[in-house]
Amino acid sequence: METEHKAQVTALLVAGRRPGTDPLAAHFGVEDKALIAVAGEPMLSRVARTLVDHPDVARTVVLAQEPERLLAHPGTAWMAADARISTLSGGNSVSAAVAAALETHPEGWPFLVTTADNVLLDAETLTGFVSGARAAGTDVAVGLVPQEVFARAYPDARRTWLKFRGGAYSGANLFFLARPAALSAVRFWQRVERERKKVRAIAGAFGPVLLIGYLLRALRVESALARAGARLGVTAAPVRLDRPEACIDVDKVEDHEIASAILAARG
């Protein structure tokens, strides 16, 4: 019996720097956060290796203001010579860089989006997310880690939790854009980034019923994403991940310490 062919994904690896001085980069004495070393390797290099070595990923595009400069670092030089990796220059807007990549690579659907500080991303997590996103069958899928999964493994670590009816979740910096319809969600992301008062922008786009439902924790995460997607003209769903490390990115010195310890334990 023939099996259904599943197209490989194009991975968009967001590695841009924020305007001004990044406090974490300054703490570690580098100009770009993506070049901070964790367990002896720049974060950008570590995430790129996971992506290019995964069978679901056809190519990886590094998005940054000056990607060539990032790839000139001794710890990332291998990336400049790897035919599976390309770069795309962008401004200070992550959403604009992602939108440009989607338009520049129309042959690349579906797309996976992740970030250079997602240093604990491994093959198992990536496989689980991609398979879950495909199974969801939606235009957009978002990786989330349930609070109870994380708390069992790291009871003393702090995360930011989005609270819904039935549970709280933390983002895993993993997004699956299945088809061109997902561009409308990226365009909304651009609007929110441009809007100084972001809560007002979100309320205006999603409407008061959806916003109040979230604030009162009256919606399950599936319903919240489905309704939000409907307002944007897309279908959207969560992908629950059972790997607690999936929601640990490196934004603070504390995160760097946790990630370093986990990578050391992995050997």
Could you give the domains of the chain? 9-266 (3.90.550.10)
Phi and psi at residue 238, to the nearest 5°: -85, 155
Res 198: pLDDT: 54
Smallest CA-to-CA distance from 70 within 21, 13, 111 is with 13
Residue 53 CB burial class (10 angstroms; 0-12, 13-18, ≥19): exposed
Residue 54 CB burial class (10 angstroms; 0-12, 13-18, ≥19): buried
- The alpha-helical segments, DSSP class H, found in the chain are 23-27, 43-52, 67-70, 77-80, 94-104, 123-136, 147-153, 183-194, 198-206, 208-215, 221-232, 253-266
The contacts of residue 75 (CB under 8 Å, 6+ apart) are 35, 37, 41, 42, 45
Q: How many degrees, rounded to 5, is the angle at CA 112 between CA 186 and CA 136?
A: 85
Res 206: pLDDT: 59
Mean pLDDT for each 10-residue chunk of the chain (267 residues)? 66 87 91 95 98 98 94 96 94 86 93 97 97 97 96 90 90 96 88 62 60 68 90 93 96 94 91
Res 12: pLDDT: 97
Res 168: pLDDT: 92
Res 205: pLDDT: 58
Contact 60, 14 (CB under 8 A): no
- Look at the block and give the residue holding tokens 């003393």: 156
Res 1: pLDDT: 35
Res 214: pLDDT: 60
